Amino acid sequence: MGQDGSVLQLRVEGAVAHLTFNRPAKRNAINDATIEALRAFFGAVPKGVRAVVLSGEGGHFSAGLDLSEQVRREPQEVMRHSRNWHAVMGLIQFSGVPVVAAMSGAVMGGGLEIASACHVRVAEPGAMFRMPEGQRGIFVGGGATVRLAAIIGADRLTEMMLTGRTYSAEEGERIGLAHYLAPANGALTKADELARQIATNSATVNYLIVQTISRIANMSAEDGLYAESLAAALSQTGADAEEGLQAFLEKRKPNFI
């Protein structure tokens, strides 16, 4: 826990909210209080916030689940705990506001599951991606078999869990764990730059992007194409569409309110 007592710090700068895991002494291991703080934020994103940057204090994004809270739970308790994570990861992915993860140091286990729920991921040299649950006698429960497997494939996730292999930032970018590789100590700066750029997009279109594309990936081709047409129809009405088209015709940058 950080000096101010909060496990998740919040700072809003204009249209961008900065969320920071704040348990540096534990490499930002995710405890139940952190999950509830994530639920509170993404369940009611502050008005005016159009993009979020998620990072970790003290050089690590997150080393994963705080196992000190997981000892001797009954099966039903573990099931409820896992389903609670699933609900909160769903809020991160589908709140309608794009989330950019700034990843440094340990991005492991539950920390990687959280990063997988984010829409844009930036890593810096020294970032370490790992799914160590197999070596700890437990199975993942925060959504890795769906979200992380969708990113890197079920085959590679199986290998990660069986071997406990650590992927570097450079390897992570190559296989899709990161979209961007920032300079040394530059993940947060790059993530903020991307978030500010994203925040200038149409809020309606950003909402449709984060709500629609991953769902279409789970549909049949014909159902996906139908859903795409619905999203297109919704996007091309209203003030944002008018402003975007007018800006194109006038050869200027659009100003989406």
76 burial (CB, 10 Å; 0-12 / 13-18 / 19+) is exposed
Are 18 and 126 contained in the same domain? yes
Three state DSSP letters for 23-74: CHHHCCCECHHHHHHHHHHHCCCCCCCCEEEEEEHHHCCECCECHHHCCCCC
| Residue-wise pLDDT tens digits, 3-54 | 456 999 999 999 999 999 999 999 999 999 999 999 999 999 999 999 999 9
Nearest to 107 by CA among 37, 178, 52: 178
Active-site positions read 113, 133
Sign of CA dihedral 68, 102, 255, 245: negative
Number of H helices, E strands in the chain: 10, 9
Are 32 and 154 contained in the same domain? yes
Are 119 and 222 contained in the same domain? no
Are 195 and 218 contained in the same domain? no
Contacts of 139 (CB under 8 A, 6+ apart): 133
Are 130 and 40 contained in the same domain? yes
Are 241 and 163 contained in the same domain? no
Residue 5 has a pLDDT of 64
Are 208 and 195 contained in the same domain? no
49-74 burial: b if 16+ Cβ within 10 Å, else e: bbbbbbbbbbebbbbbbbeeebeeee
Domains held by the chain: number: 2
Are 106 and 186 contained in the same domain? yes
Instruction: For residue 238, give both structure tokens.
Output: 């209203």
- φ, ψ of residue 245 in degrees (nearest 5): -70, -40
Range(s) of the domain holding residue 215: 203-249
Are 87 and 121 contained in the same domain? yes
Residue 2 has a pLDDT of 42
Residue 109 has a pLDDT of 97
Task: Spell out, as residue ranges, where the chain has pLDDT lower than 70.
Answer: 1-5, 71
Are 153 and 226 contained in the same domain? no
The order of strands in the sheet holding 106-108 is: 106-108, 128-130, 167-168
Residue 70 has a pLDDT of 73
Residue 250 has a pLDDT of 80
pTM of the model: 0.94
